Homo-oligomer: A and B are copies of this chain.
């Protein structure tokens, strides 16, 4: 079942936030089972969301974890219950010149509940952020070809830059509590620069300088994100799966440049 839209209540440290959330819910079917009683999926989500109005969930990944377990209750013939959620999420950020700006992100969560001897749950939490990349290659070419620019040893020179969309999704093992805002911080600091909705002129200048001082290909963004994940989450076990994807809407082309890596922390930590 896909495209189920609900307002979801999440309890944040100081307040309850309501997030418009789109759910996908799946169960596996035995060979001989017809008609997956899809209304049971919606009962499950109805109960969870209704409960959420009284007792807001602790986090989106907790909510999908509960939902995936409830799917197995409602579908006794199924051995796997899988739930995806994707929410609009907002965070107050500070621009380069110190101005507050409310920025939009996507929050994603996924949970797979498997019925073996007992029910095991694997859940993931992730975010998607929009920022900016400036191209290192064009900057280098232009510096080589224009001797006049060479006089600007310490100042960045022109290159093409563009809107970039990067996502980071991490498994969250039992007993750990990953914070979406940290993932947003990791992604934004891995791009050439974050972007802001409100920018007065000095902010805009500073942001452009920042991006040009840190030119990055999409594959650089992916590597930076992974390096920061390793740095930040030293305690997470080796079998935690990480997925990073970075997409630059190239300003000098009509197509996009994309880089992606899916790996366990163990693979990333190996020398």
Interface residues of A (CB under 8 A from B): 1-7, 17-20, 24, 26, 29, 33-36, 38-39, 42-43, 46, 49, 88, 90, 101-104, 130, 132, 135-138, 141-142, 145-146, 148-149, 151-152, 154-163, 193, 195-202, 204-205, 207-209, 211-212, 217, 219-220, 247, 249-259
- Interface CB pairs A-B, < 8 A, 13: A1-B258, A3-B256, A5-B255, A29-B259, A35-B137, A36-B259, A132-B251, A138-B208, A156-B158, A162-B251, A163-B250, A197-B254, A207-B252
Minimum Cβ distance to chain B for residue A252 (Å): 5
Number of identical protomers: 4
Contact B4 A255 (CB under 8 A): yes
In the complex, what distance in Å separates the CA atom of A4 from the CA atom of B145?
29
Contact of A217 among B3, B36, B217, B257 (CB under 8 A): B36
Contact B195 A2 (CB under 8 A): no
Contact A141 B252 (CB under 8 A): no
In the complex, what distance in Å separates the CA atom of A17 from the CA atom of B163?
32
Contact B163 A251 (CB under 8 A): yes
Contacts of A6 in B (CB 8 A): 90, 102, 104
Contact of A201 among B104, B137, B151 (CB under 8 A): B137
